[in-house]
Amino acid sequence: MKVGAVIITMGNRPDELRALLDSVAKQDGDPVRVVVVGNGSPVPEVPEGVRTVELPENLGIPGGRNVGIEAFGPGGTDVDVLLFLDDDGLLAGHDTAELCREAFAADPALGIISFRIADPETGVTQRRHVPRLRASDPMRSSRVTTFLGGANAVRTKVLAEVGGLPDEFFYAHEETDLAWRALDAGWMIDYRSDMVLYHPTTAPSRHAVYHRMVARNRVWLARRNLPALLIPAYLGVWMLLTLLRRPSRPALKAWFGGFREGWATPCGPRRPMKWRTVWRLTRLGRPPVI
Domain CATH code at residue 41: 3.90.550.60
Give the end of a domain, one of 163, 198, 233.
198
Residue 126 lies in a domain: yes
Count of beta carbons in the 10 Å neighbourhood of residue 20: 26
Q: Are residues 187 and 155 in the same domain?
A: yes
Residue 158 lies in a domain: yes
Q: Are residues 132 and 243 in the same domain?
A: no
Coil/strand/helix, residue 110: strand
Residue 29's alpha-carbon distances to 84, 87, 97, 189, 258, in angstroms, are 18, 22, 8, 24, 45
Q: Are residues 75 and 176 in the same domain?
A: yes
Give the end of a domain, one of 198, 218, 243.
198
CA distance 284 to 55: 39
Name every residue whose Cβ is closer than 8 Å to that of residue 107 and which is 6 or more positions away in sequence: 188
- Residue 262 pLDDT > 80, yes or no? yes
Q: Are residues 219 and 175 in the same domain?
A: no
- Residue 205 pLDDT > 80, yes or no? no
Render pLDDT for 33-59 as a digit per residue (tens, 0 to 9): 999 999 999 999 999 999 999 999 999
Residue 203 lies in a domain: no
Measure the CA angle with vertex 273, ends 145 and 270; round to 5°.
115
Count of CA atoms in the C-beta half-sphere (13 A) of 173 = 21
Coil/strand/helix, residue 84: strand
Specify whether the CB–CB gap between 165 and 60 falls below 8 A: no
Q: Are residues 84 and 220 in the same domain?
A: no
Q: Are residues 191 and 223 in the same domain?
A: no
CA distance 35 to 20: 12
pLDDT of the residue at 271: 97
Mean pLDDT of the chain: 96
Query: What residue numbers bound the domain in which 21 lies?
Result: 3-198
* Percentage of residues of the chain with pLDDT beyond 90: 96
Specify whether the CB–CB gap between 268 and 216 falls below 8 A: no
Residue 289 lies in a domain: no
Q: Are residues 177 and 225 in the same domain?
A: no
pLDDT of the residue at 203: 74
Residue 290 lies in a domain: no
CA distance 284 to 276: 12
Q: Are residues 214 and 190 in the same domain?
A: no
Percent of the chain that is helix, strand, coil (3-state, to 5): 40, 20, 40
Residue 247 lies in a domain: yes
Average pLDDT score over residue span 157-179 = 97
Residue 57 lies in a domain: yes
Average pLDDT score over residue span 10-17 = 97
Q: Are residues 261 and 178 in the same domain?
A: no
Specify whether the CB–CB gap between 48 and 33 falls below 8 A: no
What total number of domains does the chain contain? 2
Q: Are residues 128 and 220 in the same domain?
A: no
Residue 54 lies in a domain: yes
- Residue 206 pLDDT > 70, yes or no? no
Query: Sign of the C-alpha dihedral, residues 180, 186, 187, 190?
Result: positive
Q: Are residues 160 and 213 in the same domain?
A: no
- Residue 209 pLDDT > 90, yes or no? no
For residue 35, report the phi and psi dihedrals to the nearest 5 degrees: -125, 125
Q: Are residues 130 and 246 in the same domain?
A: no
CA distance 210 to 227: 26
Amino acid residing at 31: P
Give the end of a domain, one of 173, 198, 223.
198
